[in-house]
Amino acid sequence: MEGTVLVTAAVFVERGGEAKARLEAAGLTLKPAAGPLSEETLIEQLQGCVAVIASMDPYTERVFAACPDLKVIARWGIGYDSVDVAAATRHGVMLINTPGTVTEAVADMTFALMLGVARRLPYCDAAVRSGEWPTVYSGQVFGKTLGLVGFGQIGQAVARRAAGFSMRVLATDPCADTAVARAMGVELATLEQVLRESDFVSLHATLCAETRRMIGAEQLSWMKPSAYLINAGRGGLVDQEALTEALRNGSIAGAGLDVLDPEPPAPGEPILELPNVVFTPHCSSFTHDTVALVNNRVADNLLEALSGHRPRFLVNAEVWEARS
């Protein structure tokens, strides 16, 4: 097996370890260029590469047309909203992801954000460090209503954790598995019902044209003034300007955000100035255990694809079928 593999997923560059060694032992040459890269830089770096271990770089029609050697995009993680899948398929490029590998880590972070913003943990930490010992009044998670926007693997993992907090759980998802919801005691509802009745709304929908900015000014106005918005999914699911205004004027109580739009945020972004938000830098997947698991799954995916075997986690199966 020969060929050069561009690596824009910084976590693979920094923590690849065994996974990198396996690829190099198979005869592949790794070319690190930690991303996400711009379209221009991506085109430049992809020249002569047969595959890429991809960050959230923009894989567009223009990129595919300019990079005829590219055969495989191996995404680090689940989401592939930065990839034009139809264009990849037209150009015969296989798109592979790693479903199921980050589920528990993201669900953990979702609860960390819920607890952090409700119990005002950043304020408490800063106060104690500065020599204060204030009386801090805060919200509660136990016994509250949790609304899930998206009820796939991660949404279900969050619901399992919510059971330990005796929470009522609502979920909205056009593709929800009703049998799973029933078994878990999760009530399926409309988006409006979820937003109106929940004390915490957590976003786990896939980002696509239909879901981009699905939480805007109108949807935020449906939420309780005492409610919190949690987003460990994709920043693009939310109209960030509308969210900033809702947080500023008290339409909702607060937010816990692992993702923003764009990322990283520009200096002086208004939402960064608000005290009722807990931020993390899109790191919900980056536990030591999960990073090792995903890195090795990415290596498996590449070795399967480049050795002529059908990858188990192929997104655009049409490419493989066209070759058969």
Closest by alpha carbon to 152, among 71, 69, 79?
Answer: 79
What gap in Å lies between CA 318 and CA 141, rounded to an integer?
Answer: 45
Burial of 149 per CB tally in 10 Å (0-12, 13-18, 19+): buried
Most distant CA atoms of the chain, gap in Å: 68
- Tell me if 150 sits within 8 A of 177, measured CB to CB: no
Spatial distance between the Cα atoms of 171 and 169, rounded to a whole number of angstroms: 7
Strand runs labelled E in the chain:
3-7, 28-32, 49-54, 72-75, 94-96, 145-149, 168-172, 187-188, 200-203, 228-231, 254-257, 277-279
Alpha-carbon distance values, 73 to 59, 161, 189 (Å): 9, 33, 36
- Is residue 43 within 8 Å of residue 59, measured between CB atoms? no
Return the exposure string of 151-183: e unless at least 16 CB atoms fall within 10 Å of the residue's CB, then b. Answer: bbbbbbbbbebbeebebbbbbbbeebeeeebee
Catalytic residue annotation: 234, 263, 282
